[in-house]
Amino acid sequence: MNTLFDKIWDKHVVQMVDDGPTQLYIDRLYCHEVTSPQAFEGMRRRGLKCFRPDYIYCMPDHNTPTHDQDKPIEDPVSKKQVEMLERNARDFGVAHFGMMSPDNGIIHVVGPEKGLSLPGMTIVCGDSHTSTHGAMGAVAFGIGTSEVEMVMASQCILQQKPRSMRINIEGQLGPGVTAKDMALYLIAQLTTSGATGYFVEYAGEAVRTLSMEGRLTLCNLSIEMGARGGFIAPDETTFNYIKGREYAPKGEAWDKALSYWKTLRSDDDAVFDKELTFNAADIEPRITYGTNPGMGIGITELIPNASPMEAKSLAYMGLKAGECLLGKQVDYVFLGACTNGRIEDFRAFASIAKGRKKAANVTAWLVPGSWAVDRQIREEGLDKILEEAGFAIRQPGCSACLAMNDDKVPAGKLCVSTSNRNFEGRQGPGARTILCSPLVAAAAAVTGVITDPRDLASPSPSNGGDV
């Protein structure tokens, strides 16, 4: 009668604290430059070494520029944070994938693609979107800086066990509908607090048919509906994705691991604290209209009537209830982030861009999630398709997902973005963000306005950059 979450959690319990939290063993700690400095400094101040340094991996991503990475970082704060991470990793003897390293990228993109994130693991990082790694069939969640230090020192963490929720999405997704649309639909249905206190298992036909890239996108956005994390039971899609990757088990170790991974599923009679079911046919390409990911609609729908709190969001966005966003002019388009910076996302964008031209009024930032993604883009010739359409591919990093590097959207400008958050100022002070899938982003980039990607299903002749 156990859920998959129960099975993984219980296997990692070191001890139970009476009337308190659980001491949980952690298999993998990821560190980036923003939330780790205080943890390393705490370790240094106490004269401690990392208990299991081989289980810790560091890489800069939030502050890294997406151009001229071979040159010194100009912003002094970003420069200091990136250099501090390198120093800390060296001093504490942990792996560090630095800027311009072929292993570098966004930490939540690199972990799965290198085979560092595996089924059945417990995975933490000082970043809320650690839930991304749940797509591998792992229990993965974000933690605070003091907890990062706790894991460094003991490879354990004190945690209250979350409640369990299963979300089933049955049926098949329609044309032009992606995992990102699925996630935005769920957030709108549950609200940004609807899964608070829960760890979510995604299931159902529509989830099982997702690629690994799609699953990573879906799990990435779990935190946006308040969940502690989200994950998907591993299956043949998972195993085929992992096999042969750099840090994946090999030989007899692979056979042993695979045998265990195949047991990682919720029992048929497992009881969840909450269970919800949705129909994939109800989901169309999605866009947001407010300043949280739950304020979203189908791309053909009208903005609904707003509560007083939502009215403030609409005023910030310069939008009104009853308005249709189709045809609204766009200033910026961002493809990337740990949500949609993988190879499948670039393939989707290129499928719309092929045979067309970037709209003259649009500034577009296309940012791979890692150098490995960048290499695959070029191996598949997607770079040529995008360059012919007038797009340039930038260097890997978190980029315009958040205003912690050079890629900031100017005040008042409207950005159609594949990232995960649209809070006020998230992409830059005064910037206005509409969240969407790579297909919707591409449609906006070539037309200059918010456009239903289903209307651009087949390439059209060059539009010369005109709107």
Q: Is the pLDDT of residue 39 over 70?
A: yes
Residue type present at position 19: D
Q: What would the mean pLDDT of 55-70 be, rounded to a whole number?
A: 97
Q: Is 253 helix (H, G, I), strand (E, B) or coil?
A: helix
Q: Summarize pLDDT for 372-410 with one digit per residue, the tens.
A: 999 999 999 999 999 999 999 999 999 999 999 999 999
Q: How far apart are CA 107 and CA 229, in angstroms?
A: 17
The pLDDT, as a whole number, for residue 357 is 98
Per the prediction, the chain carries an average pLDDT of: 96
For residues 308 and 175, the model is more confident at 175
User: What's the rounded Cα separation, in Å, for the pair 120 and 463?
Assistant: 49
pLDDT at residue 458, rounded to an integer: 53
Mean pLDDT of 97-116: 98
> And the tokens for 389?
């359409």
Please check the confidence at residue 125 and state whether its pLDDT lies above 80: yes
229 pLDDT more than 60: yes
314 vs 297: CA distance, rounded Å: 14
HSE-CB of 255 using CA atoms within 13 angstroms? 2
Q: What is the per-residue pLDDT for 463?
A: 32
Give the residue-averaged pLDDT of 350-371.
98
Average pLDDT rounded to a whole number, residues 7-12: 98
CA-nearest of 381, 330, 326 to 351 is 381
The predicted pLDDT at position 195 comes to 98
So what's the pLDDT on residue 269?
96
pLDDT of residue 186: 98
* pLDDT score, position 460: 37
Closest CA to 203 of 183, 165, 232: 232
Burial class (CB in 10 A: 0-12, 13-18, 19+), 464: exposed
Query: Residue 294: CB partners within 8 Å, gap ≥ 6?
Result: 187, 188, 190, 191, 192, 224, 225
Secondary structure (3-state) at 122: strand
Predicted local distance difference test score (pLDDT) of residue 392 = 98
467 pLDDT higher than 50:
no
Residue 459: what pLDDT?
41
- pLDDT tens for residues 144-158? 999 999 999 999 999
| Confidence at residue 447, expressed as pLDDT on a 0 to 100 scale | 98
Name the nearest CA neighbour of 132 among 39, 103, 124.
124
